[in-house]
Amino acid sequence: MQAYESMDKRFLKFLTEHHNYPHGEPIPLDLDARDILFKNDVDRKCLEVRRADNTIHTSYFVGIDWLCKEEAIFVKPKIIFQNSGVTKETDFIKMLFQCLRFQHIENELQDLFELKWDSPAVEIDQKDDLLTPLLIVEFLRLLKIIVRKGLKKSYYKVQANLRGSIKGKVLVSRTIKENTWKNKHLSTVCSYDVFGLDGLENRLLKLTMSYIKRYLPVFQTFKSDANLANLFNYVTPAFEGISENVDVNEIQHGKTNPFYKEYKDAIKIAKLILRRYGYNISNVSSQTIKTPPFWIDMSKLFELYVFGLLKEEFKDKLIYHPTYNGKELDFLLLDPPMVIDAKYKPRYEYTSVLDDARQLSGYSRMTKVYEYLNYPKDKILDCLIIYPNQISGSNDLSNFKEIITRPDSQMKEYVNFFKIPVALPMV
C-alpha cells in the first residue's frame, strides 16, 4: 500500500474505476473504511468496502474522498490507452464538449458531479485536478448563452465626487475630508443608484473570468482544444468595462428573471470556482491545490458524450430520455426506428451482459414505444448498445448505416440486437 503525505494525512495509492475487477484492492485490516455513495443514493456506490475479504471495489465514478479520517483515495478514469509507448487517459472535458453544443441538457449536467464542501479538503497536485476543468467548461457554456442574449442590467451603488451638483445621498464625512478641508466647497461626495451593466452579478462573473484566464495556460486541454479557447475568447469582449470589485457575500439569489435564467447557475458555479482557490488568484498557478472531496459519474458523462455523437448525426430524429410507463430510455431513434442504450462497459468488445439485454429488450417491447414510432407490432424493434473502445471504435457516427450492417455489430445471442463501439477522446 503506497502512501502520499498530504495535509498531515495519507492517500491510498491511486486507483481507477472498476479497479482490479472483480477482485478489488486489498486494504489494511485496521482501516475503518466505509462505503461511499453518490449523493446519498444507495443504488449508486462510488466505492464499496467488502469486509468479507477486506477489499475495495470502485465503480463507474472518478473522484477524491476520505475512506476514514486519515485515509483518502483518488479514483481516476479507467480508459487508458497505450500507443507507441505513450500512455493516454480519457479526456472527459472533450467528452463534455461533444454534448455542450446542444441545448436542453442543463438538468442532465446537474446530476453529473457531486461536491462535498463540508468535508475536509485534500491536497493534490494541480495536474491531477479533475474537478476544476469541469466547473470551468460549464461556467463558460453558461456565459456563452448569457452573452448571446446580452448582459443583464441592474441597479447598483456608485460613489462619486460631484462638482456643482448633488445626487442621491450625501456622504458627509468623505465630503469634509476630501473637499471641505481642501477648500473645494463646490464639490460633494454622493452615493446614488445607477442602472447599467456594472452590477454585482456581472462583476462576479468578470472576477471569475480573471481566475479562469490565469488557469487556462496550465490546463493541457486548453492548449490542444481550439473549442475551449474559442469559447473563452467569445465571451471575454462582452465584459470589457465591467469592474472586478465585488464582495461575493453581497450577492444573494433572489427572484430570477426567466429571460436571464442562466445567471442563477453561472453565479453558483462562479462561487464554487472562487471558493475552490480560497478567493486568492495567486493560488491558481500553484503546483498543488486543496480540493473538496468530489465525484464525477463517468457512466453519465459517457451517456452525454454518446448523445452528442448521435445528435450530430441524426438531429431531430433522435429523442433523448423519453419516458413510457414510468421507464426512462436513454435514446429513441425515429429513423431508422431503434431503441439505443449507452453502456460505459469496454467488455462489450468481447462479450455481452445479460441484465443489459433484458433491460433494453423490455424497453423495446413496450406498447407505447411501438405506438409512438407507428411501428408494426408483428415485427421486432431493433436494439442497439453503444460502448467505448479505443481500437475498434470511431469518434463520430457519420457512417452509422455502414457500421450497423457489419457482422461484428450483430450480437449473435439475440435477434435484432446490435452493438457499436465509439472511441473516447484521449489526453
Q: Long-range contacts for 46-52 (Cβ within 8 Å, ≥24 apart)?
A: 46/75, 46/295, 47/73, 47/75, 50/24
The pLDDT value recorded for residue 191 is: 93
Q: Give yes or no: residues 391 and 258 share one domain.
A: no
Can you give the residue range of the structural domain that contains 166?
154-196
131 with 243, same domain?
Answer: yes
Q: Over the stretch 32-91, which tens digit does the pLDDT of each residue have?
A: 778 899 999 998 999 888 888 888 888 889 999 988 877 888 888 876 666 666 677 788
Task: Indicate if 390 and 336 belong to the same structural domain.
Answer: yes
For the segment 277-285, the average pLDDT, to the nearest whole number, is 66
- The dihedral region occupied by 168, where left means phi > 0, alpha psi between -120 and 50, and beta the remainder, is left
Does 248 share its domain with 135? yes
**Domain membership flag for residue 100:** no
Same domain, 242 and 188: no
Flag whether 133 is in a domain.
Answer: yes
Nearest 5°: the CA angle 32, 33, 38 is 150
Strands 337-342 and 323-324: unpaired
In a domain, 347, yes or no: yes
* CA distance readout (Å), 194 to 39, 133, 257, 289, 418: 43, 36, 19, 39, 62
Q: How many domains does the chain have?
A: 4
Is residue 85 in some structural domain?
Answer: no
Domain end, chosen from 241, 259, 291, is at 291
Q: In which band, very low, low, confident or very high, does the pLDDT at 7 lie, cut at 50, 70 and 90?
A: very low
Q: Which three cell numbers stand for residue 187?
A: 464639490
192-215: pLDDT as tens digits: 999 999 888 999 999 999 988 888
Top mean pLDDT of 74-83, 114-123, 245-254, 404-413 is at: 404-413
* Continuous segment of H or E residues that includes residue 172: helix 172-178
Residue 64, classed as helix, strand or coil, is strand
Same domain, 172 and 39: no
Residues 253 and 317 in one domain: no
Residues 187 and 202 both lie in one domain: no
Q: Indicate if the pLDDT at residue 108 is higher than 50.
A: yes
